Chains A and B, each alone.
Chain A
Amino acid sequence: MSTLAVSGLTKTFGGVHAIEDLSFEIRAATVHSIIGPNGAGKTTLLNLLTGVYLPNAGSIRLDGRELTGAPVHAFAAAGIGRTFQNLQVFFNMSALDNVMTGRHLRERCGLLPALLHTPGLARAERESRERALGLLRFLGLEAYADACADAMPYGALKRLEIARALAGEPRMLLLDEPAAGLNPTEAAEIAGLIRRLAESGTTVVLVEHNMRLVMGVSDHILVLDYGRRLSEGTAAQVRDDPRVIEAYLGAVDTRVAGHA
């Protein structure tokens, strides 16, 4: 059973082919990693997969449903959640409100019930709050629940974005460098989290430079270079692919060292 099918996807910026004629599939409840050198087009791909960018060509289907050209919130409603490489936290809110905002799709958002604060809405708000607190606990953030997000440390903000994305109960979660800037202990925690998510049936798409993390958790790896597919397969297959070794893994040691 295929969850996400991408075909002929192309995105250019001026003369730059950020993504060029890319086709692949992501199967449900697997951990699918996307790796590649800086500027390979990984973030651009995630932006395409969430509707933030409109592709120049190609299509994106989720369970056979055409999503290409739909607005971003429709991608979210179809079950795609994500985090950002550059934090996109709601800094004017508490951590709890950030996560509750992530539950938007699960909440009733009629204007009149909101203005009148109907008993139904009050009940839904209490439930939403409990669930958001549960997610904060799940990510070890309960101490920050009422803290304003702009007072939280970087590592906590990274996890806050994951909590917010999970609050929408996505079928597919796209993580853009969740371990960047984290220490090895925190990175190991992220690995554990990704495994638990996949076990519980959530498809995880992981963009990451931390090769230990990628090789440890991935069912399938897609290697990008200059917006094209360089290689694809299991961790072992990708690691042994001479093209990857030549074009990418050779440079990884310096890159990983640079990122650590």
Chain B
Amino acid sequence: MRASSRADARRTWWWATPRSGGIAALALVVAVLPLGFANGYFYDVAIQAGLNSIICVGLNLLIGYAGQISLGHAGFFALGAYGSALLAARYGWPPSLALVTAVAGVALVAYCVGRPILRLKGHYLAMATLGFGVIVSIVLANDDRLTGGPDGMQVPPFALAGYVARSDHAWYAIVGACLLAAVWLAQNLVESPTGRALRALHTSEVAAAIAGIDCPRHKVNVFVVSAVFAAAAGGLTAYYAGFITPSSASFVRSVELVTMVVFGGMASTFGAVVGATVLTVLPQALTVLKEYELAVFGALLMATMVFLPRGVVPTLSGLLQRGTR
């Protein structure tokens, strides 16, 4: 009786109830979407949207839930991509092992970058990650013996237990499954004591600490988790595209990622997926946008902040609830 009245009072839609309806609905969308795909180009855009969604689901944990801004997540993405590519191409590692190792390496890097900075109070993380991203892209562009420099490098195809992933269908399935896993992990975290700790320190660090929350530790943890999501998407992207360039670490790319999170909706995992998908598909559909990409994303970021400060998905779901009440 109490349980049902509590469920009624919940301020979310049934399908957005984390871990149950939400993931099932997303799985359904991922499964039926290809029915509408006319050709390989649709698959390509969908795969890119899925990869961006994985990054944004992780980045949203950091920005939306913990309230910490990163302007360097393209750096983690690129390290995941180059790490996987280098281990597989130059050292002949099995691609899956290369990917796992690269992601673990990025987790370590993120820990080393985040730990000294997140002990300080204030918004130093944005500046530090901005610098970090720039350094990564410069190193990748300049170290041309190892990485091929600005021209980029070839990446061997992804293979696991004798199966080589080449077709669009295979990649769509891989990325779809990874996206669902990412959403599941993120929602688990959000609905745990750690998730509450992140939302708490976002609102009041003093009150969070008084409740016994070790704020620096939780901030570092979520920073590492978000970097891991970006690195995993980076590794997958490298194998999928078969080719990577240092521009994947660019500042523009980091700003794009932040825009996707803010546009889709802060502190909403499904908002992050919607934001990433819309802002991946839109520039593809309107090719004119491509030339002015940074300007368009900047304008969109400002417009979202001014008109939809909570982002698209939370604002729309709020409006709908008011409508149905």
Contacts and interface: CB of A to CB of B under 8 A. Distances in A.
B264 to A, nearest CB: 17
Interface in B169-203: 185, 188-189, 191-197, 199-200, 202-203
B197 A104 contact: yes
Given A104-B197, A146-B6, A115 B214 contact: no
Interface residues of A, number: 43
Interface string B209-230: 1111111000001000100000
A168 interface: yes
B193 A115 contact: no
B214 A71 contact: yes
Given A73-B212, A73-B214, A90 B192 contact: no
Interface of B: 6, 9-11, 19, 185, 188-189, 191-197, 199-200, 202-204, 206-215, 221, 225, 267
21 contacts: A72-B206, A73-B209, A76-B212, A82-B210, A84-B206, A89-B204, A90-B199, A90-B200, A90-B208, A91-B203, A93-B196, A102-B211, A104-B196, A104-B212, A105-B211, A114-B194, A115-B225, A117-B19, A117-B192, A146-B9, A146-B11
Contacts of B211: 76, 101-102, 104-105, 164, 168
Nearest to B7: A146
A115 B188 contact: yes
A100 B202 CA distance: 16
Interface majority SS (helix, strand, loop, mixed), chain B: helix
Given A88-B210, A145-B9, 4 more contacts: A90-B208, A101-B197, A107-B193, A146-B9
5 A-B pairs with least C-beta separation: A72-B209, A114-B192, A105-B212, A88-B207, A76-B212
Given A50-B210, A105-B212, A92 B267 contact: yes
Contact of A72 (B19, B189, B195, B210): B210
Contact of B188 (A71, A92, A117, A145): A117
Interface string A84-116: 100011111100010011111101110101111
B225 to A, nearest CB: 7
Interface string A233-250: 000000000000000000
A168 B194 contact: no
A52 B185 CA distance: 34
A108 B86 CA distance: 39
A211 interface: no
A36 interface: no
A89 B199 CA distance: 12
Contacts of A77: 212
Given A105-B211, A148-B11, A114 B202 contact: no
Nearest to B222: A111
Which residue of B200, B210, B225 has the most chain A CB atoms within 10 A of its CB atom? B210
Nearest to A118: B188
A81 interface: yes
A101 B215 contact: no
A116 B188 contact: yes
Contacts of A128: 193
A66 interface: no
Contacts of B215: 73
Contacts of A168: 211-212
Contacts of A182: none
B195 A114 contact: yes
A233 to B, nearest CB: 30
Contacts of A76: 209-212
Interface in A133-179: 145-148, 164-165, 168
A77 B221 CA distance: 20
A90 B204 contact: yes
Contacts of A121: 192
